[in-house]
Structure 1
Amino acid sequence: MNTTEQSFLTLINQHKAIIHKISRMYMHGDEERRDLFQEIVLQLWKAYPTFKGHSKFTTWMYRVALNTALVYFKKEIRKVDKSPLEDGIDLIDESDGADKEERLAYLYKAVQELNAVEKALIFLFLEDQSHREIAENLGISEVNARVRLSRTKDKLQSIIKKNGYEF
């Protein structure tokens, strides 16, 4: 294995949680998540020679992974018209154990009702990205990121209320 391959594998291993989270946000079945995970890693590998280090690796990784997820998600929607409220999603809270897992499940289930761009906005927000970083990752202005994120949070809250997921 050459140094480029080793470097790539080390970085992917260090930041694989990002890929898992994106896969979970966009796909609700275990098999679909695994397929998306593999597709993201493949696209990261193909794009790795273009990474010049002008930004943090994770910033570049978010951009490639989210773009891959958006394209993959659109392909999946064209293949099968599935209900966005099937089993297998999750939510983040400061709760403990089973309660935290239940809340996490409600969040991810509600997120499935968002469109692909809204999912990316929420994902980056949950990753503690600033409005500027969100804008950079999605290729939009900072003001646009702020407005769209606010609207998406409101929409997500409405979905949570509509489905009786309130805590």
Structure 2
Amino acid sequence: MNKELEHNFVELLKQHQNIVHKVCRLYTNNKDEHNDLFQEITIQLWRAFPKFRGDSKFSTWMYRVGLNTAITLYRKSKRRIKTYELEPLQFKLKSDEYDDTEEEQLKALYKAVHQLNDIEKALVLLYLEDKDYREISETLGITEVNARVKMNRVKTKLRTILNP
């Protein structure tokens, strides 16, 4: 789009932005929703502006685009599950309630598992999924005895990696 068209749009929007604010006040309940709708209407106005022929006053056209945008978004929002803002005080947590020890141990385990070869990784995955040795052996195409021996070796290897 050319600079002149952009300049004209910005000037007209500045002159008539109260129209958009009025529409936003009708269809929103809080400042964030108001700002979101204002932005969406502005985007729709900008997209439609090159097609504005001037058959009606700019303000009339602006109302039409603004209301159509708001109504369309309002209809879409009616299909959503209604949510409510809860008081922030209800969610105050003590910092000592979260212990990241388990998370750190899990990260270390994954890092150690990444150092294993493909078969060993598969063994660990199946083992962690609580598959028995019969299922592990069938899945990997090895004997059940071989699966047990390999798993014991992998456990030893992981202990060595985790506790050097």
User: TM-score normalized by structure 1?
Assistant: 0.47
Structure 1 or 2, whichever has the larger Rg, is: 2
User: TM-score normalized by structure 2?
Assistant: 0.48
